[in-house]
Chain A
């Protein structure tokens, strides 16, 4: 069976600097996969390769078995891979509604509408005419997620979901994830907070220095193995 989204022997470069070495990861339909690892290990680069921000060889990224590596980001989102970028990156001069509507630029048909996003995040209801830059960090993250949903994706890539947010707010936002999976959306999660990442995901990959050095079913991964993986010891 082909995975929904996978990388095969993926190398990625920033100029002369190689950031990823032969990375193989797999996301099955309906799954939530976490990418963990220390800062600068290559988690974000891997995500950026999937989004189309980092140029990679065509056959190293496959969506339903079809090669999509190195396609432009606008093409990739139209195939159903949406992203929630690190730092939210809302359009500051657009209102909440306008930010959400930017998701529809993917041109994909599907169930997501402004009203449905408001059902998932009721906190946005009375903020719809506010600028993105006027919102709290948690509300901005909700808009960023809503914006990704509005593109009617098959896969959503989260980069640092909890970074810079208070734990209670992260809990509010994390409630959206099971709901997304009920709607048939698969998830890739890059996360600093390892315990949270394991709790939210089905399967996890640990990346160190551009290579996968530990992987397994999230519930079965022992914490000391992860600790060793983080510091480069043999797992």
Chain B
């Protein structure tokens, strides 16, 4: 029983991380109608940036955060304005092909620079400390990750509904053509949206770099998680990504509790069930 509760708690906490994987993907799809197939590889790129600054250059973690997050934002803006904006149109195929190409370039570029070795970041003692609550033990690092995830999702919600930029982003999501007639420079707004998405990816990338090991080829599995979370939670719903992340995390934990080999499979099964029963997602249709 204790083991079950422990697994569930672990599932909830990793759900926060999954929500971060999904939030950027959901944002980009909502505004630009682009399914970013390089999303997972961009997360892994962020992890390698962190690895390079912390493990190779020997900089402290807080400095790495201050370097990696702005770089991810800049990368997002440049990528959108310089490349992806040219692929957006009535046809859905060009952005798919181009982001698929970016995915391949990133994977092979990272392989060239960092080799195929497994990497993992070491954040020190916090990774092994745990909070004992009766029979349940929760790792402090997992709690920290979850807290950062909730704070990030809350920040995104605040940005969307309480700021001028958020109003412009939502208006552009609703109707980019009319937004332009109001004076919105949609090219620029798309760039900003991708920058925000990649900063969130960067946060997830840093946290994930110490959670489990990664290689240059870890991207597609991250992308799959992000996809499933967006569909489970509901497209366009910010809190839905958190609900979706937790659902997927708990499903995997339960599967893993029954049989370690079922962990990933259980997540996919829950995804398929929700897709069949509630295609709009848990919080879909609401905002």
- A and B are interacting partners: yes
- Say which one of A26-34, A86-94, A162-170, A217-225 lies at the interface with B: A86-94
Task: Choose from B177, B181, B183, B287 the contact partner of A93 (Cβ within 8 Å).
Answer: B287
Q: Determine which residue in B164, B177, B182, B287 has the highest number of CB atoms from chain A within 10 A of its CB, and name it.
A: B182
Q: Are B177 and A91 in contact (CB under 8 A)?
A: no
Find out whether the CB atom of B170 lies under 8 angstroms from the CB atom of A93.
yes
Chain B CB within 8 A of A210 CB: no
| A98 in contact with B173 given A77-B183, A103-B182, A106-B182 (CB within 8 Å) | no
Size of A's binding interface in residues, CB under 8 A: 25
**Given A89-B175, A91-B175, A51-B170 contact (CB < 8 Å):** no
Q: Are B183 and A105 in contact (CB under 8 A)?
A: yes
Give the residues from 164 to 190 in chain B that come closer than 8 angstroms, CB to CB, to chain A: 164, 167-168, 170-171, 173-175, 177-186
Q: Are A102 and B167 in contact (CB under 8 A)?
A: yes
Which A64-103 residues sit within 8 Å CB-CB of chain B?
A: 72-74, 77-78, 82-83, 85, 89, 91-94, 98, 101-103
Using CB atoms, name the residue of chain B closest to A89. B178
Chain A, residues 46-76, CB within 8 Å of chain B (1/0): the string is 0000011100000000000000000011100
Q: List 12 A-B contacts (CB under 8 A).
A: A52-B181, A73-B181, A74-B180, A74-B181, A74-B183, A83-B181, A93-B287, A101-B164, A102-B167, A102-B168, A102-B179, A147-B182
Q: Are A51 and B181 in contact (CB under 8 A)?
A: yes
Least Cβ–Cβ distance between A145 and chain B, in angstroms: 13
Contacts of B175 on A, CB cut-off 8 Å? 89, 91
Nearest CB in chain B: distance from A118 CB, A: 19
Interface centre among B167, B180, B181 (most CB of A within 10 A): B181
Q: State whether the Cβ of A44 lies closer than 8 Å to any Cβ in chain B.
A: no
Closest 9 A-B residue pairs measured CB to CB?
A106-B183, A105-B183, A91-B174, A73-B180, A91-B171, A102-B182, A73-B181, A77-B183, A105-B182
User: Does A140 have its Cβ within 8 Å of any Cβ on chain B?
Assistant: no
A22 close to chain B: CB less than 8 A:
no
Determine how close the nearest CB of chain B comes to the CB of A155; give it in whole angstroms.
Answer: 13
Contacts of A98 in B (CB 8 A): 167, 170-171
In angstroms, Cα B181 to Cα A14, docked, is 19
| Additional A-B contact list (9), CB under 8 Å, known A73-B180, A101-B164 | A53-B181, A72-B180, A74-B182, A74-B183, A82-B181, A94-B170, A94-B171, A94-B174, A98-B167
What residues of A have a CB within 8 angstroms of the CB of B185 in the complex?
Answer: 74
Interface contact A78-B183, CB-CB below 8 Å:
yes
Given contacts A89-B175, A93-B173, A93-B174, whether A77 and B181 have CB atoms under 8 Å apart is yes
- What are the residues of chain B within 8 A of A151 when measuring CB–CB? 182-183
Is A107 located at the chain interface by the 8 A CB criterion?
Answer: yes
A74: which B residues are within 8 A, CB to CB?
180-186
Question: Closest B-chain residue to A157, C-beta based?
Answer: B181
Q: Which residues of A lie under 8 Å from residue B183 when comparing CB positions?
A: 74, 77-78, 105-107, 151
- Cα distance, A94 to B178, chains bound together (Å): 13
Do residues B182 and A77 form an inter-chain contact, with CB atoms below 8 A?
yes
The distance in angstroms between the C-alpha atoms of A143 and B181, with both chains bound, is 15
Which chain A residue lies CB-closest to B160?
A: A93
B178 adjacent to A85 (CB under 8 Å): yes
Q: How far is the CB of B93 from chain A (nearest CB, A)?
A: 20
Q: Quick one: given A77-B183, A105-B184, are A91 and B178 in contact (CB under 8 Å)?
A: yes
A101-B164 Cα distance, complex, nearest whole Å: 9
- Give per-residue flags for B89-104: 1 if the beta carbon is below 8 A from chain A beta carbons, else 0: 0000000000000000
Q: Which residues of B contact A52 (CB under 8 A)?
A: 181
* A229 shortest CB reach to chain B, Å: 30
In the complex, what residues of B have CB within 8 A of residue A107's CB? Answer: 183
- A101/B167 contact (C-beta < 8 A), A74-B184, A74-B186, A77-B181 known: yes
Q: State how many angstroms separate the Cβ of A5 from the closest Cβ of chain B.
A: 16
Q: Output the least CB separation between B19 and chain A (Å).
A: 21
Q: Contacts of B186 on A, CB cut-off 8 Å?
A: 74
Give the distance in Å from the alpha carbon of A73 to the alpha carbon of B178 in the complex: 9
Q: How far is the CA of A147 from the CA of B171 in the complex (A)?
A: 13
C-alpha gap A13/B273 in the complex (Å): 49
* Nearest Cβ on chain A to B226's Cβ, whole angstroms: 23
A74 to B184, CA, bound (A): 6
**Which residues from A are CB-within-8-Å of B179?**
91, 102, 105
Q: B181: which A residues are within 8 A, CB to CB?
A: 51-53, 73-74, 77, 82-83, 85
